[in-house]
Homo-oligomer: A and B are copies of this chain.
Amino acid sequence: MALLDETDIHNKLKNFSGWNYSDKQIQKEFKLKDFSSALDFVNRIGKDAEAMNHHPDIFIHSYNKVKIIISTHSESGVTDKDFYLAKKIDDHNK
Q: Say yes or no for A77: interface residue by CB 8 A criterion.
A: no
Task: Kindly report how many copies of this chain are found in the complex they form together.
Answer: 2
Q: Say yes or no for A87: interface residue by CB 8 A criterion.
A: no
Q: Once the chains bind, are B61 and A49 in contact (CB under 8 Å)?
A: no
Q: Say yes or no for A60: interface residue by CB 8 A criterion.
A: yes
Instruction: Report the separation of the CA atoms of residues A61 and B67 in the bound assembly, to the nearest whole angstrom.
Output: 11
- Report the interface size class on chain A: 10 to 19
Q: Once the chains bind, are B63 and A35 in contact (CB under 8 Å)?
A: no
Q: How far is the CB of A56 from chain B (nearest CB, A)?
A: 8
Give chain A interface residues in 27-72, CB to chain B under 8 Å: 35-36, 39, 42-43, 46, 49-50, 55, 57-63, 69
Chain A contact residues, CB within 8 Å of chain B? 35-36, 39, 42-43, 46, 49-50, 55, 57-63, 69
9 A–B contact pairs at CB < 8 A? A35-B55, A39-B43, A39-B46, A42-B60, A43-B43, A57-B59, A57-B61, A59-B59, A60-B60
